Structure 1
């Protein structure tokens, strides 16, 4: 089986097979910045994964799949314990629906197929038999999977260098005082570099962090407090507005 212990050496670009699936369990992991010559499909079977890219960040709960195109610098961090699955694909298997980086919905069928592919041996022959059929179903499901707005663009303007995206972003007025830049200038920078105003960007940040914390097992009350909401009900209303689901229902779907 393609199950890896954290200490096992692994370099997918040195492997002969055009498709490579792996399964592993990691605790408080930081991959550092790296890239692969192959495309990567990444799925958190249990727990949540944070993905950082040049100019963007995202959180991957168990109901989402990340597609990372070949040659894309990225960094993966895990704050607790996560079981993850990953499938690496040669360019020969890429098509129009696997072009740019994307976060897509994980259907029940895709989850099952993903699991089976991830656990197949490294020397699997993908050109025939059950392996070829599994891969075909996986790619077909990805072709119709719904893309999710879970990629948060991060501004690069040097005037915002003191904005720590690891922490809850402050209110606009507070940020203005902290960095010595007018609120109008901050708004203009965010619209130019992220496509949204600062308030919308801050709300998107809170949604990503909420998903991360909920998937890590924190209660609604704890998450609401961590993200600065006045009450559980205020947080639930925010979450429903952003996702169409209550926090518990959202995470229940991921379980």
Structure 2
């Protein structure tokens, strides 16, 4: 169902086994929250940044997130996004995915999400059954997408990480970060390996890659993204992007 900011909506209070919503959302931060429904989150236009279960990832128009019931999550939109969210009651709907996942959206799944997001909430269950079953089947066989970023939880990094997540600053090189945090480079390196399983430099590069995908999804030029992420040149950014994805930025976004 198409909604706007004035539409009352709290999914856990709704009497339906399935609820779909569609909206045009501008700059928005949902805040960390959870609900009793499993959720499929997707944007056919624009890009969302999401944090869930200690992971950070981005959802360009070719990716979707499956969020099981009860999992805390937060969605951030920095520009206008065509927001699609499908909610499933796991106590009444069978064959739902069990685990948290980000996956590639096939053309068929995209069409199913678009159709179901605009359903009226009181659409009879008998008229939902076939499409709902096909959607669940597509979800169970969807190809997983593993480009996520684990987040550190140490209190010394809380303020720094919040600024990174909201886009207010970039993760600096290790020596600069050490000065800002007030901890030695050795301590920071040990923290990141312990809490994320990644050396800080690898974590920083993964963050730059995810942010690049987010900004490219917002139709920013290669030059603009390269400059925003402080690459020395466009060619250096393209080389970095291809090294990590196997494709140039323009080909990846197509």
Normalising by structure 1, we get a TM-score of 0.91
Shift, 1:169, TM fit: 0.4
From the superposition, tell whether residues 120 and 241 of structure 1 become closer, same or farther in structure 2 (CA, over 3 Å): same
> C-alpha displacement at 1:82, in angstroms?
0.7
1:181 maps to which of 180, 183, 188: 183
What's the CA shift for 1:53?
3.1
Structure 2: runs of 5+ lacking an equivalent: none
Deviates more, 1:73-82 or 1:177-186: 177-186
Give the 3-state SS of the residue equivalent to 2:20 in structure 1. Answer: strand
Whole-angstrom CA distance in 2 between matches of 1:119 and 1:151? 29
Structure 1 segments of 4+ aligned residues over 4 angstroms from their partners: none
Instruction: Give yes or no for the alignment of 1:56 onto 2:55.
Output: yes
Question: What secondary structure does 2:188 align onto?
Answer: helix
Q: Write the distance in 1 (CA, Å) between the matches of 2:57 and 2:231.
A: 21
Q: What's the counterpart of residue 155 of structure 1?
A: 152
Q: CA deviation at 1:94?
A: 5.7
Is the 1:6–1:25 contact (alpha carbons within 8 Å) kept by the matching residues of 2?
A: no
RMSD: 1.7
On the 8 A contact 1:105/1:148 being kept in 2, the answer is yes
How many angstroms apart in 1 are the aligned matches of 2:122 and 2:189? 53
2:72 maps to: 73
Change (3 A) 1:186 1:38: same
The DSSP-based 3-state class of the residue aligned with 2:227 is helix
Give the Å deviation of 1:105.
0.6
Partner of residue 120, structure 2? 121
User: Could you report, residue by residue, the CA deviation over 1:47-78 in whole angstroms, capped at 9, with x for unpaired residues?
Assistant: 01111235332211111001111122222221
Structure-2 separation of matches of 1:224 and 1:161: 27
Distance 2:35 2:196 in 1: 26
Shift of 1:98: 2.0
1:33, distance to aligned residue in structure 2 (A): 2.6
- TM score, norm. by length of structure 2: 0.91
How far apart in 2 are the matches of 1:69 and 1:35? 9
Cα distance per residue 1:215-240 (max 9 Å; x no partner) = 11211000000001111111111111
Q: Equivalent of 1:132, from 113, 126, 129?
A: 129
